[in-house]
Amino acid sequence: MNVFKNIWNAFTYAVKGIVYGFYSRKNITVFLITTLLVAVLLNWLRTTKIKFALIMAAWLLVIIMEISNTAVEKIVDTLHPNFSEGIGRAKDMMAGAVFIAIISAITVTLLMIWDPLMYKLFHLTTGG
């Protein structure tokens, strides 16, 4: 029974962390809304399950990266509240990782939906 309690506690802490992230960072909320809108678009385009899964994984990675970025910033700001060039660079690198995840998600999405989107909007085929 102790195992179930530990699992429940881990789940509770994880949910609290996610909720805190959504309330403390507007970017996380923006990325969640974007992910939901992409899901609606994919449903409208009637994409395959594998494309849906891959595109959602790319957008969920953006959310994961932003939550990780928020956690690292919170730890660093708590442990070292004063300015430090090294810490500033580390924060910049975390922001860069989030940016790369966003560019990757956009690229994956566009590559996978371009043809069906063009057909649905303009009845054009691109031959790709």
pLDDT on residue 85:
93
Residues 6 or more apart from 57 whose CB is under 8 A from it? none
Contact criterion met (CB below 8 Å) for 66 and 91: no
Residues 6 or more apart from 95 whose CB is under 8 A from it? 69
- Catalytic member of 59, 65, 66, 101: 66
pLDDT on residue 2:
87
CA atoms of 16 and 30, how far apart (whole Å): 19
DSSP 115: H
pLDDT on residue 53:
98
66 is catalytic: yes
Read off the pTM: 0.83
**pLDDT above 90 (res 55):** yes
